[in-house]
Structures are given as C-alpha cells and as structure tokens.
C-alpha cells in the first residue's frame, strides 16, 4: 500500500465512481502491460479481461493465465481467445500455465481470484456450525465458514505473494478473493507488495440508493467508509439535501409490511439503517452474519430474512455446487456458439485502477487497505484499530494506490466494525501462524457465533471443523 498523502476528501461521488457510464479517462496508456491472473478459472476472469480490452487508449500487452486446474485453465484460455477475437483486440496476447513462477516475471499487475479446496469443504463450513445452532446465509467472509475459508486460503495466498516479491516486486496486486478482510490483513502484515482488496458492494449499493431515493446517480454526493461488507454511507445528498429522511420513511413502511416494491426487500439493511443511522454496503444476507441481531433465533430469521441474498438459510451451500457446474457448462456452450454476447465495460474496479495508473490520470475508487499510514502519520479511520484493514476511498494515479483519510466514524458504526476487526485479527493470526488456538479465539469473538454458542461449544465446534477439513489444513497445530 502506498502511503503517499492525498488531498482528496473521501467523497465517492459522480465523477470517478460512476463507471455505469463506462467512459474512459483521457489519454493513452504509456506502454503495453503484463497482467497475471491467479485462479484464472474464476468466473471473474472473462469480465475483467473484457473490461481491460474495452478500456480506451490501452496499448494491449500480455495476460498470463495461472490455475492449478489444468482443464479449467485450458477452457478459459480458449474462451478468452475467442472473446478477444470478437472484440477485435488483437493487441492482447495470452499465455497459460499451472506454474505461477513462469507467469509472474515482468508482471505489472496481479489479479488474485483463487479458490482453495473448491467444493470439498462447503458442506463442512455450513453443516457443522448448523449442528451447533449457527445459521449462515453466505458463510464465506465471516463466521465459521468465513474463518475456515481464510484458514485454507491464506497460506496459499501468502505463498503467491512471496513469489511475487521475488519475480515482480513492483507489481500492484488486486485481490478479489474472499474472505477479503482477512486476506488483505494477512498480506498487509507479511508482504512488501502493494496490495488492494476490491469488492463491488460500494458501486452496487451507491447505485441502489440513488434508485431508491429517485435521484440521478451522477447528481448524488456521498461518503462511504468502514470495513469490507460493513462500510457505511455516512453522507448521502442530492443538491445539498439529505436523502436519509426519505429513505428512513420508506424503510419504516417496508418493515411494517407495507412494501411498495415487493422485489426490493433487503430488510436487515433497512432495519440496521433505522437503528444505527446509515445504510451499509453489503446485502442483507452477508450483513446478517456480521452482526449478532438477526440469525440467532428462528423467529428473528423469519421476521427479517428473505430468499437468496436477502438472508436465506444455507443459500450458498445449497447453490454453489450447482452454480459452479452451470458456469463450467456455460463456458463450453460459449466456445461452441457462433455468436458472442460481449456487453459493455463493467464497474469492477480492476480496469479503472489500471487505466488511471497507466495514464497517470487520478481517479477515485473504494478499496481495502491497511488502516495505518506511515509511522507518526495516523490512521485512515481514526477510531478503528491501526493494525486492521479498512475500506476507504483511494486515489489512483502513477504512484499506485493512495488511500485517503476518512477521519472518525460515528461511534456506534465504528464499534460494530471494531467488533468484526477483532475477529479478523485473530483469524489472520491463526492462518499466518497455523494456530488452532487463535482460530478458536477468533470464533469466540465472532458476532454471530458468540450470539449462539458458549465458549466450550465454540472450541468443540472449531476442532470438529479442523478434523473434517484436515486435508486442506496442513500444518495447523
């Protein structure tokens, strides 16, 4: 993470966080680039590659595909060659390998989309905690499922970063893999690489709020800060008018059962907004796992949780295997199809970061970075732990990632973020040190787990999960 000071205020409005217009920045890239995709078989890869090819002024370059699953790697390679052909972007070339040390040398950017263990542990992550009364919707960023995904993933992630330090130390690393906070935290504590964690919840939620408020997105002014999946829109205005009174009224109606739009439920986030004073970035399903209020009793789940990303019990575990099979089938279908639906450039941040840096035209994104600045220079979010990872506005230019200071979050919002960060702290420690004890303590501090289980139950459950997933947890003691 760069510690260059920026004079920019962390206000993510109109000009540079509205990629729904898909316009590019002025100028041309200064050079062809090399980008290495780790976990190239990921569903993110076609979109990120297309975004880069559609970036105005790009000079092409090499995209090195890396995946340990050779079959998925080869399929993705063929698919991307076809996609680039339909785009007419013949200035981009591909390589493919299962050996990252062959791909990393000369890389300017590394995109991390790895998935460790595939489908082998998803049922353990959900079903073992469920026997202890812990009801998860997503279970991949916090809670028992999120912790064990971190314990499986972080060792592989840190090995990748160690190789990057040897082969391309000046590269910028863009991480898309969950659990976002724990991966970025572990990296920030152990690696010299410049790393930023990227999510799409800020972009998606800011557009959602403009729609709910009935205002043009490009005219809405907002500030957002916190941690990944628990960042707060502390300012939300249109032409100088606060939009929250309107959103509060609508939320009160929705929670009273007077839904105007029955496709727009999102009851957990609306309830949190009413009680804590601001809207939060991630879906109600994710959010319900980050706080101790909504998933600890069946009557609360029935009252606040709805299908799919709105809080459905076991939503990911019951659907992820099917989704993965469908993704693979869709890729094969696209390879055989004569037509190729391309779409337009997306609001995923990767191509916008690369464009801003290569053109040296400052742009603003929201990313996950370490909260501490250089020694003696303070913190990005003043009332959150200095050694934690936060999600704030960042300016991107030729110097790379330049996080901006937010200042103080309202205390009730900071307190909820802090409670999650204490769990992430121990979770990252557990993965770095291969410590079962730190993992047990992490779940004792997890808000959802602690709302349901006693310390003795948490320890027993954690050890049971270690035993069930031992094939993917080598070296833990």
The residue assigned the tokens 């939060």 is 280
Strands 220-227 and 230-238: antiparallel
Q: What pLDDT sits at residue 374?
A: 61
Which pair of tokens denotes residue 56? 């105005």
Instruction: Tell me how far apart the alpha carbons of residues 287 and 277 are, in angstroms, rounded to a whole number.
Output: 15
Q: What pLDDT sits at residue 229?
A: 96
Residues in the chain predicted with pLDDT less than 70, given as ranges, are 1-23, 260-263, 374-376
- Check whether the bond before 66 is cis (ω within 30° of 0): no
Q: What pLDDT sits at residue 26?
A: 87
Mention every residue, 6+ apart, whose C-beta is less than 8 A from residue 68.
Answer: 98
Angle value at C-alpha 14, between 13 and 16, nearest 5 degrees: 85
Q: What pLDDT sits at residue 264?
A: 72
3-state secondary structure of 245: helix
**Active centre residues (catalytic):** 200
Instruction: Tell me how far apart the alpha carbons of residues 327 and 214 are, in angstroms, rounded to a whole number.
Output: 35
Instruction: Tell me how far apart the alpha carbons of residues 259 and 73 are, in angstroms, rounded to a whole number.
Output: 46
Q: What pLDDT sits at residue 193?
A: 97
Cα 363 to chain centroid, rounded: 19
Cα 233 to chain centroid, rounded: 17
Instruction: Tell me how far apart the alpha carbons of residues 146 and 435 are, in angstroms, rounded to a whole number.
Output: 16
Q: What pLDDT sits at residue 376?
A: 63
432-437 long-range contacts (CB < 8 A, ≥24 apart) are 432/154, 432/158, 432/186, 432/189, 432/190, 434/155, 434/475, 434/476, 434/477, 435/476, 435/477, 436/462, 436/463, 436/466, 436/476, 436/477
Mention every residue, 6+ apart, whose C-beta is less than 8 A from residue 341.
Answer: none
From the options 3.90.1820.10, 3.20.20.70, 3.10.129.10, 3.20.20.330, give the CATH code of 19-119+143-201+339-375+392-398.
3.90.1820.10
């Amino acid at each position: 993470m760069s510690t260059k000071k920026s004079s920019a205020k962390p206000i993510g409005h109109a000009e540079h966080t509205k990629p729904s217009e898909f316009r590019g920045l002025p100028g041309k890239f200064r050079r062809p680039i090399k980008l290495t995709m780790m976990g190239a078989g990921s569903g993110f890869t076609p979109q990120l590659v297309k975004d880069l090819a559609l970036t105005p002024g790009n000079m092409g370059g090499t995209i090195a595909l890396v995946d340990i699953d050779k079959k998925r790697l080869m399929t993705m390679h063929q698919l991307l060659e076809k996609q680039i052909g339909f785009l007419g972007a013949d200035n981009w070339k591909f390589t493919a390998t299962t050996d990252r040390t062959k791909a990393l040398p000369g890389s300017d950017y590394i995109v991390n989309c790895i998935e460790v263990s595939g489908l082998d542990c998803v049922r353990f992550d959900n079903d073992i905690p469920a026997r202890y009364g812990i009801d998860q919707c997503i279970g991949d960023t916090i809670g028992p499922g999120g912790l064990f995904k971190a314990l499986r993933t972080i060792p592989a992630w840190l090995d990748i970063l160690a190789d990057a330090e040897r082969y391309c130390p000046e590269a910028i690393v863009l991480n898309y893999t969950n659990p976002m906070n724990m991966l970025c935290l572990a990296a920030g504590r152990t690696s010299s690489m410049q790393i930023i964690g990227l999510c799409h919840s800020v972009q998606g939620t800011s557009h959602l709020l403009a729609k709910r408020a009935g205002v043009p997105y490009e005219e809405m002014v907002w500030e957002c800060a916190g941690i990944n999946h628990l960042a707060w829109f502390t300012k939300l205005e249109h032409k100088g008018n606060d939009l929250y009174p309107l959103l509060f009224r609508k939320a009160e109606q929705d929670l009273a059962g007077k839904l105007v739009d029955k496709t727009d439920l999102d009851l957990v986030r609306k309830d949190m907004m009413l009680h804590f004073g601001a809207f939060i970035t991630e879906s109600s399903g994710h959010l319900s796992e980050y706080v101790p209020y909504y998933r600890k009793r069946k009557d609360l789940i029935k009252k606040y949780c709805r299908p799919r990303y709105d809080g459905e019990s076991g939503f990911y575990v019951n659907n992820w295997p099917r989704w993965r099979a469908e993704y693979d089938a869709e890729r094969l279908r696209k390879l055989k199809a004569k037509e190729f639906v391309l779409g337009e450039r997306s609001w995923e941040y990767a191509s916008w970061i690369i464009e801003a840096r290569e053109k040296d035209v400052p742009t603003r994104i929201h990313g996950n970075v370490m909260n501490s600045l250089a020694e003696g220079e303070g913190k990005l979010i003043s009332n959150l732990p200095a050694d934690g990872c936060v999600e704030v506005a960042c300016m991107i230019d030729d110097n790379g990632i330049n996080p901006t200071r937010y200042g103080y979050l309202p205390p009730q919002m900071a307190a909820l973020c802090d409670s999650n960060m204490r769990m992430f702290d121990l979770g990252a420690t557990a993965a770095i040190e291969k410590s079962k004890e730190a993992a047990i303590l992490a779940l004792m501090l997890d808000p959802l787990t602690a709302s349901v289980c006693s310390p003795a139950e948490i320890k027993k459950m954690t050890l049971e999960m270690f035993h069930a997933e031992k094939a993917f947890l080598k070296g833990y003691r």
